[in-house]
Amino acid sequence: MKKDNKFIMTAEGFMQAEEELNELKTIRRPEVIKALQEARALGDLSENADYDAARNEQAIIEAKIAELEFKLEHAEIIDNKDKSAINLGSTVAICYEDGEEEEYKIVGSMEADPFENKISNESPLGIALINHKVGDTVKVESPNGGYTIKIKKVA
C-alpha cells in the first residue's frame, strides 16, 4: 500500500527486497557486464544477437535496481505487535461460506504472492480483514461479487 509516498512493508518483505537488490548489484549486474564485453569482442555489433540480448537484460536489471532502491528508500516497515486484531504482517485462518478453510498472511502490495498465500492489504480480502478479530464474520466485496468469511485464528 502506498501511503504518503511510502511503501508499506513487513520487516520480512523489506529484508527480501534488500537481498534481491544485493543479488542484482553483486551477481547479476557483473554477469551482464561480462556478457556485454564478450559480445563486443565478437566484432560487428549491428548484427550481434548476443550483444542485443545482453543490452536488453542490462536495461531490465538496471530498471529493477532503481525500482528496488526507490521502494526501500521510501519503505515504511509495519510491525504488528498487537496480535488480537488483523493488520499487516498477520497470519489469518479463515473459513469460507462453503466450509473451506484457508490461511493467509497479510503483506504489503510489493510482497504479495498468491502462490504462497501472501495477500496484499490492498486486495479485496485484505481490505476486508484489516482490524477484525477472531470470531468476526466479515463481508468481502470483490469484482466477482461479495461473499462472507469467518475469522478462525490470528497470529
Q: For 32-63, write each residue's pLDDT tens digit.
A: 999 989 888 877 767 778 888 899 999 999 99
pLDDT of res. 47: 74
pLDDT of res. 4: 62
One domain for residues 62 and 105: no
- On whether residue 84 sits in a domain, the answer given is no
Question: Which residues, other chains included, contact 16 with Cβ-Cβ below 8 Å and sequence gap of 6+?
Answer: 111
DSSP 8-state class, residue 1: -
The three cell numbers of residue 124 are: 479485496
Distance between CA atoms of residues 88 and 134, nearest Å: 16
The three cell numbers of residue 101 are: 478453510
Asked if 76 and 17 touch (Cβ cutoff 8 Å), the reply is: no
pLDDT of res. 155: 86
One domain for residues 68 and 107: no
Percent of the chain clearing pLDDT 90 (strictly above): 62
pLDDT of res. 148: 94
Domain of residue 130, CATH code: 3.10.50.30
Instruction: Look at the chain and report how many structural domains it folds into.
Output: 2
Distance between CA atoms of residues 108 and 74, nearest Å: 13
Asked whether the predicted pLDDT for residue 124 surpasses 50, the reply is yes
Domain of residue 50, CATH code: 1.10.287.180
- On whether residue 85 sits in a domain, the answer given is no
Domain that holds residue 18: 2-77
Instruction: For residue 83, give Cα distances in angstroms to 8, 64, 146, 148.
Output: 18, 34, 27, 22
Q: For 79-120, write each residue's pLDDT tens digit.
A: 766 677 898 889 999 999 999 999 999 998 889 999 999 999
Asked if 88 and 135 touch (Cβ cutoff 8 Å), the reply is: no
* Furthest-apart CA atoms within the chain: distance in Å: 69
